[in-house]
Copies of this chain bind each other. A is one copy, B any other.
Amino acid sequence: MGEIVLHNYFRSSTSYRVRIALEMKRLNYTYVAHHLRHGGQREPGYLSVNPQGLVPALVWEDGTMIAQSLAIVEFLDEVAPEPPLLPADPLGRARVRMLAQMVACDIHPVNNLRILNMLRTRFGADDAAVAEWFRHWVGETFAPMEKMLAESPQTGRFCHGDTPGLADICLVAQVANNGRFGVDMTPYPTISRIAANCMELPAFIKAAPRNQPDAE
């Protein structure tokens, strides 16, 4: 299918997920940045690539496009199976997908830039109200996730055993985002430990927002 282009933004946590997976799979890709705060993802040229006008999107030379970070990561895991990002057994795969989706469906969507902007424009939310909203929804999911991870014998050095995978990818990207809104991580020692273990790995470091060409 030829060269891969990743349309993304250094600070976007969904872009970060895909970058980690690409690095873990040792796949080469061309980095194309869209500055979300300047509306770069809504330019006509990009809308003709991804009509949804969101990042990340993976695009090939023949025009094939995949959007949605978890769909991209699962695709990469299917076409480049090593190292695997999901366990082999269906219940283990379900547990990892569940943990990933707790972040990807219950935290990130309600806290991303377009929602926070709408709270400002539609309801007059100020910086403090926006930060409170962000922290509230992190806590609603991180509290039960901490409990689930701390109490499960399946949790190891990472979310599921001793190898990093899809759930760790989502967790690390969320923890990075939390730092921008002053989330107190003290109540989440297991989540913090797993995120720290991930951040010792070259793939996670290379994919981090601060190490991207458009980092500010």
Report the separation of the CA atoms of residues A22 and B71 in the bound assembly, to the nearest whole angstrom. Answer: 22
Contacts of A147 in B (CB 8 A): 51
Interface residues of A in 71-112 (CB under 8 A from B): 71-72, 74-75, 78-79, 90-91, 93-95, 97-98, 100-102, 104-106, 108-110
> A2-10, A118-126, A173-181, A195-203: which lies at the B interface?
A118-126
Q: Is A67 part of the contact surface with B, judged by Cβ < 8 Å? A: yes
Measured CB to CB, the closest approach of chain B to A119, in angstroms, equals: 7
A156 within 8 A of B: no
Tell which of B51, B125, B143 touches A148, judged by Cβ atoms closer than 8 Å: B51
> Interface residues of A toward B: which range?
35 or more
Docked pose: A148 CA to B90 CA in angstroms: 31
Instruction: Check B102 against A78 for contact (C-beta < 8 Å).
Output: no
Cβ of A139 < 8 Å from any Cβ of B?
no
Note all chain B residues with C-beta closer than 8 A to A78: 90, 93
Q: What residue in chain B is nearest A136 (Cβ atoms)? A: B118
15 A–B contacts from the bound complex (CB under 8 Å):
A52-B144, A53-B144, A66-B94, A68-B105, A71-B97, A71-B98, A75-B93, A78-B90, A104-B105, A105-B108, A105-B109, A109-B110, A114-B140, A118-B133, A118-B136
Chain B's closest residue to A90 (CB) is B78
A131 within 8 A of B: no
* With A51-B148, A68-B105, A144-B51 as contacts: A90 and B110 at CB distance below 8 Å: no
A window 138-157: CB within 8 A of B: 140-141, 143-145, 147-148
Distance of A27 Cα from B90 Cα, bound (Å): 17
Alpha-carbon gap, A98 to B74, bound state (A): 10
A113 at the interface (CB under 8 A from B): no
Chain B nearest Cβ from A127, distance in angstroms = 15
CB distance from A177 to the nearest CB of B (A): 15
